[in-house]
Amino acid sequence: MKPPILLTSYVFPEVIELLQQHFDVDDNQRREAFDAVSLRARLRDKAGVLVAGGDRIDEALLDACRDLRAVCNAGVGYNNIDLDACTSRGILATNTPGVLDDTVADLGFALILAAGRRLTEADRYLRAGRWGRWSNDLLLGMDIHHKTLGIVGMGRIGRALARRARGFDMQILYCNRSRAPEPVESALGARQVALDELLAAADFVCLTLPYSAAVRHLIGAREIGLMKPTAVLVNIARGGIIDENALAAALREGRIAAAGLDVYEGEPAVNPALLPLENTVLLPHIGSATRATRAAMGLCAARNLVAALSGGTPPNLLNPAALSRRRG
């Protein structure tokens, strides 16, 4: 008998086909919305689960799901999973790093362009029938080329973003817990600086760092106050890294020029203070949203799940300490 698993969100057919070779699959191709109660009920008798970032895997759920042996996230971020709770129960947890780096970096640079050149504002202006004649000062944005890009978090996505910025002859500063290897710095033309220096010097600030409780509201009123009034803030990491109330106030009062956001602290809810602001580009967490990349993420998560439930070590294991305690 095949182990039963749950898929909490829609996945592409090739992912289902791979999983059905190994498991009794309870899928969610109808795109049902699982609240905490319904997720617990569906997961109660399952050996594994493939989850999306919006699914919270916490102690209460794990206590109700005694047969669960693996939690595989279809995404690189995993702040939706209580990793310590999984480890203490011998439940293997995985993510999907690497397969989405370039796609997310593409979206990050698109936000830099859109916010800097006021593209969505211009689109709304035209569609509203407000464009009556050409004007020398109509919807003036800022140049991207030759400007300074500050990258907060110089991991795989941060480096991919820096490679794109090189094509625009941008100066690149970065802030990271550890210094990038010298060959990486040299190839990217990047220089490590402290966060405050980066915020004060950069024309565009892009957040690409992993989320943890330690970086919640890392960018707050004080940090935004260090930025140039002409600066643009872009977030493709996690919403909680920015104090959104402080950001909305700064944008409303013109203390920074614009923001491009793909992630939000309470998503899918968006801070209502952001919604009326013309100088924001707001996207519904679509950083990895191409057919090819989302399929690759699903297949990566599926392979992690196959390895975890067949007694192997998943390629992208987040909690190796759980191996010695693993269930089953």
Which one, of 92, 85, 195, 93, lies nearest residue 150 by Cα?
195
pLDDT confidence band for 327 (50 / 70 / 90)? confident
Q: Tell me if 4-99+291-325 shares its fold with 101-282.
A: yes
CATH number of 101-282: 3.40.50.720
- Asked whether 94 and 301 are in contact (CB, 8 A), the reply is yes
Instruction: Write down the pLDDT at residue 296.
Output: 97
Instruction: Write down the pLDDT at residue 328.
Output: 73
Angle at 97 between CA 194 and CA 34, to 5 degrees: 110
What six digits make up the tokens of 202? Answer: 């950069």
Instruction: Write down the pLDDT at residue 154.
Output: 98
Give the rounded percent of residues in the chain with a pLDDT score beyond 70: 100
Catalytic residue positions, numbered: 238, 267, 285
Q: What rounded mean pLDDT belongs to the chain?
A: 96
pLDDT at 236 over 80: yes
Sheet order of strands, 232-235 included: 190-192, 171-175, 148-152, 204-207, 232-235, 258-261, 280-282
pLDDT at 10 over 90: yes
pLDDT confidence band for 32 (50 / 70 / 90)? confident
3-state secondary structure of 175: strand
Mean pLDDT (whole number) for 151-176? 98
3-state secondary structure of 281: strand
The architecture of the domain spanning 4-99+291-325 is 3-Layer(aba) Sandwich (3.40)
What six digits make up the tokens of 25? Answer: 């699959």
- Asked whether 156 and 208 are in contact (CB, 8 A), the reply is no
Instruction: Write down the pLDDT at residue 54.
Output: 80
The predicted model scores a pTM of 0.94
pLDDT confidence band for 118 (50 / 70 / 90)? very high
Neighbours of 51 (CB within 10 A): 25
The secondary structure of the chain in percent helix, strand, coil, rounded to multiples of 5, reads 40, 15, 45
Strands 190-192 and 92-94: unpaired
pLDDT at 318 over 80: yes
Strands (E), the chain: 4-7, 24-26, 48-51, 70-73, 92-94, 148-152, 171-175, 190-192, 204-207, 232-235, 258-261, 280-282
pLDDT at 307 over 90: yes
pLDDT confidence band for 48 (50 / 70 / 90)? very high
Instruction: Write down the pLDDT at residue 20.
Output: 98
pLDDT confidence band for 168 (50 / 70 / 90)? very high
pLDDT confidence band for 286 (50 / 70 / 90)? very high
Mean pLDDT (whole number) for 312-324? 97
Count the helices and strands in the chain (H runs, E runs). 12, 12
Residue written as token pair 């995404």: 75
Which amino acid makes up residue 146? H
3-state secondary structure of 71: strand
Which amino acid makes up residue 66? R
Beta partners for residue 207, in sequence order: 152, 235
Instruction: Write down the pLDDT at residue 41.
Output: 95
Domain residue limits, the chain: 4-99+291-325, 101-282
Mean pLDDT (whole number) for 323-328? 89
pLDDT confidence band for 262 (50 / 70 / 90)? very high
Mean pLDDT (whole number) for 29-35? 88
- Give CA–CA dist 52/15, Å, rounded: 14
Predicted confidence (pLDDT) per residue in 200-232, tens digit? 999 999 999 999 999 999 999 999 999 999 999
Residues 6+ away with beta carbon under 8 Å from 116: 141, 142, 143, 144, 204, 232, 258
pLDDT at 142 over 90: yes
